[in-house]
Amino acid sequence: MMLWRGSQRPDSRLCALACCLALTLLAASLAGCSKDEDYVPDRPADALYNEGLYLLNNKQDYKEAAKKFDAVDRENPYSDWARKALLMSAYAYYQAEDYESCVNSAKRYIALHPGSADAAYAQYLIGASYYDQIVDVSRDQSRADKAIDALQEVVRKYPNSEYAIQAKKKIDMARDQLAGKEMDIGRYYMKNRDFIGAINRFKVVVTQYQTTRHVEEALERLSEAYIALGITDEAQTAAAVLGHNFPESPWYKDAYNLVKNNNGQEPSENKQSWISRAFSPTPAALKPAAPPAAPAPIAPPPVSPAPMAPAPRAPAPGAPVSAMPPPADKGRLT
């Protein structure tokens, strides 16, 4: 028998507390394991998916539909339902004009399923989201740059997809917008008689956006600016290149009269000029550039039959798994 002396005797209350704490920790650990093993999603994946389609198709409640699709992805990750729901989430956010969420969902889809047949559509949604946020030329055009970068990825990675053609049309529209921005700044400089600044802006249009509708005016403005600076040779070259490529353009008539009224000179191309080299080899007379054709509306994602047979439970009313009607065209630029 062990004898305790004075202060050596343990406090019974401390011992009891330690035992209770150990039992509590053990119980919590066992409960956690049981919870992880027995976890069941709040709603079956097929039911959530069908509810999302119902809200999308019948109610046009795009934000609530996106929440349903997000719930499928969150509660049933790495399943076929989650893969389809993630793409539908991106589309629903696009329809709701929540472009940031659309881009995030589409990027996540591409990161998780880069080899999917629908990856091209997800990439196209990213470009379309940036494209729909392009503002008028008097404001910042960073969204146009992002749209071009994202849409060029569609053309580069998925050249044979049905989205490559629409991506090219949107790229042309966005490039036309960027050229318009340069022209807007150039005209401002001309108005304030900063002819060097104006020439630099018009030069960007001539060298980088030569296939846009703004190139004709850019060449005429170059003639005007060079005459104002007394650089007659470059003014004549700009007018000559404009006349050769766009002989029917009203901008050529203005450029011709400017040069003609400057000591009776005629448009004459200097082959060593940067303007001439920008168009070299000079093609046969081109037709005046027309505004790019508006791209088609964004179609819904290709909804194939459900990846799994739904469980034998009634789906949301009127929510068969089917394709959605195409949205209204939101792709027109101001």
> Tens digit of pLDDT for each residue in 207-243?
999 999 999 999 999 999 999 999 999 999 999 999 9
Q: Calculate mean pLDDT across residues 149-173.
A: 96
pLDDT recorded at residue 293: 57
Structure confidence at residue 11 (pLDDT) = 57
In this predicted model, which residue has the larger pLDDT, 1 or 47? 47
What gap in Å lies between CA 142 and CA 131, rounded to an integer? Answer: 10
Average pLDDT over residues 278-284: 63
Query: Which DSSP state fits 302?
Result: -
Q: Which residue has the higher pLDDT, 44 or 192?
A: 192
**Amino acid, res. 24:** T
Environment class of residue 152 by beta-carbon count within 10 Å: exposed (0-12), middle (13-18) or buried (19+)? middle
Cα distance between residue 154 and residue 109, in whole Å: 15
91 domain-assigned: no
285 in any annotated domain? yes
| Neighbouring residues of 54: CB distance < 8 A, sequence distance ≥ 6 | 315, 316, 317, 318, 319
pLDDT of residue 285: 41
pLDDT of residue 187: 97
pLDDT at 36 over 90: no
Looking at the predicted structure, is the pLDDT value of residue 251 above 80?
yes
Of 105, 100, 91, 99, which Cα lies nearest the Cα of 62? 91
Q: Is the pLDDT of residue 311 over 80?
A: no
Task: State residue 161's pLDDT score.
Answer: 93
Please check whether residue 15 lies inside any domain of the structure. Answer: no
Cβ count near 262 (within 10 Å): 15
Mean of the per-residue pLDDT values of the chain: 81
Is residue 122 very low, low, confident or very high in pLDDT (cuts 50, 70, 90)?
very high
Angstrom distance (rounded) from CA 248 to CA 314: 67
Phi, psi of 331 (to 5 degrees): -100, 15
- Please, which pLDDT band fits residue 44 given cuts at 50, 70 and 90? confident
The pLDDT of residue 306: 38
* Integer-rounded Cα radius of gyration of the chain: 33
Return the ∠ at Cα 204 (arms to 202 and 205), rounded to 5°.
65
pTM: 0.73
Helices (H), the chain: 12-37, 45-57, 62-75, 80-95, 99-112, 119-131, 142-157, 163-191, 195-208, 215-229, 232-245, 250-260, 274-278
Least confident of 154-158, 254-258, 268-272, 282-286: 282-286
Over residues 290-305, the mean pLDDT reads 58
**Contact 215/251 with Cβ under 8 angstroms?**
no
19, 24, 33, 144 from 27: Cα distances, Å: 12, 5, 10, 58
Residue 317 lies inside a defined structural domain of this protein? no
Q: Is residue 201 part of a domain?
A: yes
Sign of torsion, CA 204 205 207 209?
Answer: positive
pLDDT of residue 16: 54
Give the whole-angstrom CA distance, residue 22 versus residue 251. Answer: 89
Tally of domains within the chain: 1
Is 216 within the bounds of a domain? yes
Give the whole-number percent of the chain exceeding pLDDT 90: 66
pLDDT for the residue numbered 294? 59
pLDDT of residue 17: 55
d(CA 271, CA 277): 7
Q: Write down the pLDDT at residue 21.
A: 55
User: Residue 307 gets which letter from DSSP?
Assistant: S
More reliable by pLDDT, 45 or 8: 45
Structure tokens at 217: 């005016």
The predicted model gives 257-271 an average pLDDT of 92
Q: What pLDDT is attached to residue 303?
A: 52
C-alpha 266: how far from chain center? 46
Count CB-CB contacts under 10 A for residue 40.
7
In a domain, residue 51? The reply is: no
The amino acid that residue 88 corresponds to is M
Residue of 149, 224, 213 lying closest to 180 (CA atoms) = 213
pLDDT of residue 194: 98
Q: Residue 18 has what pLDDT? A: 54
Query: CB atoms < 10 A from the CB of 324, how many?
Result: 18
In angstroms, the CA 91 to CA 121 distance is 10
Q: Is residue 273 part of a domain?
A: yes
Residue 259 contacts residue 239 (beta carbons within 8 Å): yes
What's the pLDDT tens digit per position in 73-111?
Answer: 899 988 899 999 999 999 999 999 999 999 999 999 999
What pLDDT score was predicted for residue 78?
A: 84
Name the percent of the chain lying above pLDDT 70.
Answer: 72
Range of 220's domain?
193-294
pLDDT over 50 (residue 170): yes
Whether 301 has a pLDDT exceeding 80, the answer reads no
Question: What residues contact 3, with CB distance under 8 A and at least 6 apart?
Answer: none
